[in-house]
Amino acid sequence: MLYKVLDKSAYRDFVKALISEYEFIGPKKKDRSVHDFVPIKDISELDTNYMRVTIPPAKKLLFPPNEKLVTYEVGRKIEVRPVIESDEEILFGVNAWDINGMNFLDRVFTTDFIDENYISKREKLIVIGMDSKPTETNFSLSMGTEYAKDGFDIYLTELKDKYFIRIATARGNEIVERYAKVSDATAEDFRGYDKYMNNYRKKFKMSVNIKNFYDDFELIYDNEDFWKKIAKNCYSCGSCNLVCPTCFCFNIKDDIELNLKSGSKTREWDSCMISEYGLVAGGHNFRPDKENRLKQRYRCKLKTFIDKFGKYACVGCGRCIEACLAKINIAEDINSVKKEVSV
């Protein structure tokens, strides 16, 4: 890791140069409370002071909601052609918990199989991170994801009159050397950065008692009354999955041309919270009840990937809490599990 500082007076020139040289994706205000990561053509469109989470998360750049995977033709033999679309682009202003969300997806899409579509996009995505203020529903401090130590090329932290820059890759260093007027970080800059981080961590208002959840979950697993109470108001709408930076379930859809000789396969985001998720041929549904679906979602988020990767599949961003019309709150539910097993 290299540590540099950029004077605030040089920040705009740095960003303008990146906008003119690269496909540049950054946070733009969409309405009163929502920002989205969209292509930016002029620095005036960029708004890195977003506090509310962006919906949908930046994962859409790596794992789009709809993505054609292959086309095929059936002739004397079957020809299958992969469709892999990726371009070099900059993702600017993404915060620490979303970078950690992408890091989690990196593991998912490279562990049991190598997902070429995902990886080709990830390799070409230049990630420039930036701290943002946590919302009142953000519990990433408890999940250990409020700080990104990798998964980015460059990370900017705004101090009083300068940006403290962490450079994690050779590609990031090339960009900084070419487009930013930086100097080496001094001991004074490191002290300023430490002070910033201490204050930043005090801004997280929501916390969860995640310690021992791994075992507590087993104690509560068969308590039907508990899960019925937690899931009582769930509409099974699936919004919590769609806004989540770490959810990765997808469905494959076949589109066949009328000639029945050619077609394509497209993947689309799926949701474990909708009732059709567990439906299989023959009409059997493995998870017909909403309480079982919610229980399974919490197992997947907070336990399964501890076994698999030693990581939670939840970065504590709080998006699902904000998106849920039924006010189902994963943070409160984690704490309820603790309370329930402690009585």
To ligand SF4, the closest distance from the beta carbon of 270 in angstroms equals 13
What's the CA gap between 271 and 251, in Å, rounded? 9
On the CB side of 276, CA atoms within 13 Å amount to 6
Give the residue with the Cβ less far from ligand SF4, 176 or 330.
330
Position among 59, 122, 267, 319 found at the interface with ligand SF4 (CB under 6 A): 319
To ligand SF4, the closest distance from the beta carbon of 236 in angstroms equals 5
Q: Residue 151, interface with ligand SF4 (CB under 6 A)?
A: no
Is 54 within 8 Å of 37 (Cβ atoms)?
yes
Q: Which long-range contacts (CB under 8 A, 24 or more apart) does 182-187 make?
A: 182/4, 182/5, 182/6, 183/4, 183/5, 184/3, 184/4, 184/5, 185/3, 185/4, 185/5, 186/5
The two structure tokens encoding residue 273: 């919270």
Q: How far from chain centre, in Å, is Cα 281?
A: 32
Binding mask 262-301 for ligand SF4 (x = CB under 6 A): -----------x---------------------------x
Give the residue with the Cβ less far from ligand SF4, 169 or 304.
304
Cβ neighbourhood burial of 6 (10 Å; 0-12, 13-18, 19+): buried
Nearest residue to 334 via CA among 182, 318, 322, 326: 318
Q: Residue 239, interface with ligand SF4 (CB under 6 A)?
A: yes
DSSP state of 33: S
Q: What element of type H or E holds 102?
A: helix 96-111
Is 95 within 8 Å of 131 (Cβ atoms)?
yes
Q: How far from chain centre, in Å, is Cα 95?
A: 10
Position among 38, 237, 272, 279 found at the interface with ligand SF4 (CB under 6 A): 237
Stretch that binds ligand SF4, among 7-15, 165-173, 192-200, 316-324 (CB under 6 A): 316-324
Q: Residue 148, interface with ligand SF4 (CB under 6 A)?
A: no
What's the CA gap between 19 and 259, in Å, rounded? 45
To ligand SF4, the closest distance from the beta carbon of 50 in angstroms equals 16
Position among 169, 209, 223, 236 found at the interface with ligand SF4 (CB under 6 A): 236
To ligand SF4, the closest distance from the beta carbon of 4 in angstroms equals 31
To ligand SF4, the closest distance from the beta carbon of 305 in angstroms equals 12
Stretch that binds ligand SF4, among 154-162, 168-176, 197-205, 314-322 (CB under 6 A): 314-322
To ligand SF4, the closest distance from the beta carbon of 237 in angstroms equals 4
Q: Residue 309, interface with ligand SF4 (CB under 6 A)?
A: no
Residues 216-235 close enough to bind ligand SF4 by CB under 6 A: 234-235
Residues that bind ligand SF4 (CB under 6 A): 234-240, 243-246, 273, 301, 314-320, 323-326, 328, 330
